[in-house]
Amino acid sequence: MADGKLPGSRRELQRLHRFAEAMPKVELHIHLEGSIRPETALALARRHGIRLPADDPAGLQEWFRFRDFLHFIDVYVALSDLLRTPEDFEFIIVELGRELARQNIRYAEVTFTAYTHLGWQQKGLTPEDILAGLDAGRAAIRRQFGVEIVWIIDIPRNLSFSRTTGLYNGRASMPTVDIALAWREHGVAALGLGGYEIGAPPEPFAQAFDRARAGGLHSVPHAGEHVGPEGVWGAIRSLQAERIGHGVRAIEDPALVAYLVEEQIPLEICPTSNIRLGVYPDFASHPLRRFWEAGAYVTVNSDDPPLFNTTLNQEYRVLVNEFGFDANELEQVSLNALRASFLPESQKDELERAFRQEFIRLRRELALVD
C-alpha cells in the first residue's frame, strides 16, 4: 500500500468499495478516442471494412495492452482512423455516455484531438462533419443518460515540431485553436495540450494559448508526466494553466509543490495510467498520497480507460486499496473534481448539494461510519 492508512476490516473495505462505485462523480481527464472499448472498435471496423490486429474483444484488449509509448500511439492512431463519418463520432460518444452513466459520473470534460482527424489523417472529413457528430452524441447522452459533457480540444504537441530538425513549427497549434474557438458555442470549454512531452516543451505553445484565452477558453495542458517539474513550471508560466493534466512529476521539486498548494492549481492525476505508461513502477512509488497530505488540489481520473484496463470506478478503488482513502476523503476527491470543473458556479453549487445528499444516503445504506 502506497503511503496510506491501512484499511479496517474486510467488511469495511467492501463497504468502501461499494461506496466508491455508487457515489456521484465528475471526470476531468478522459480522452474521447481513448475511451473506445474493444467491442466499439470492432463494430466500427466492420462498418468500414477496416482490419484490426484482432477480430474479437479479448484479442483486441490484448492488443491494447501497453508495451511502450510508441505502441500506445500506434493503438491510439488506429482507433482514431476508425472514425470516418459523423455517425461514427455520435456512436462512440453515446457509448462513452452509457459507460459514464454506469459509473454514476454526472459530468465529464472530455478531451478530443480534432486535428488528428482533419489535418493529419486524410479521411475526407470536414469540420462540419465532426461537429455534427459531436453535437448529436452530446445531445443523445444528455437525453438518454442525464450525463452532461463538454469538450477540451487539445493540440497534439508532437505534430507541432519538425521530425527532422526538432524545432517548433506550430503545424497543429493554430489550426487547433481555430477549431476550438469556432466550436465554443458547441460545448468547447478549454484548450488542451496532449501527446508525448519529451522534445515538445510547453513554452513554444504560448501564442496559441494566449489566443485561446483571449477568445474565452480555459487553459488545461498536460504536463509533468514524461518530463519533470520543468514541464509543469512551463505550463504554468507560459500557458497560464488553470489545471494541470497529470502533473505528478511536480513532486520532484518542493518549491513547485509549495506553489501548487498555495495557488490551489488542480492536478488531474491518473494513477493507473501513470503505472501503465511507466511513469512509476507501482502504486507504492506513486506520489498521490504525498500530494494529498501536502494540501495539493488532487482530482482522480481515468485518462484512456480501455487502453489501461481501468475505469473511474476502478481508480476510486485504487484510492482505497493502494492509498488508504476513507469515505470522507473519497467524497472530497469527488467534490474536488466538481469544484475544479468549468461549469458555471450556480451549476456547481446545485450539483454539490445533490452530491452531498447522495453521500449521506449512501453512508446510511452501507452503514459507513462518519
**Neighbouring C-beta atoms of residue 281, cutoff 10 Å:** 9
Q: How far apart are CA 221 and CA 241, in angstroms?
A: 7
Active-site position among 225, 230, 322, 329? 225
Q: CA of 10: how far to CAs of 13, 19, 368, in Å? A: 5, 14, 13
Per-residue CA distances from 55 to 48, 82, 135, 175, 369 (Å):
14, 14, 30, 35, 48
Joined grid coordinates for residue 210: 494566449
Please say if 225 is a catalytic residue: yes
Q: In the β-sheet with 105-112, what is the strand arrangement from edge to edge?
A: 25-31, 105-112, 148-156, 188-194, 218-223, 244-246, 267-269, 298-300
What element of type H or E holds 15? helix 10-22
Q: What are phi and psi of 110, to 5 degrees?
A: -105, 125
For residue 122, how many other CB atoms are within 10 A of its CB?
A: 8
b/e per residue 301-313 (b: at least 16 CB within 10 A) = bbbbbbbbebbbb
Q: How many CA atoms lie within 13 A of 98 on its CB side?
A: 9
Q: CA angle, corner 245, sides to 122 and 139, nearest 5?
A: 60
Q: Helix or strand or coil: residue 267?
A: strand
Active-site residue list = 225
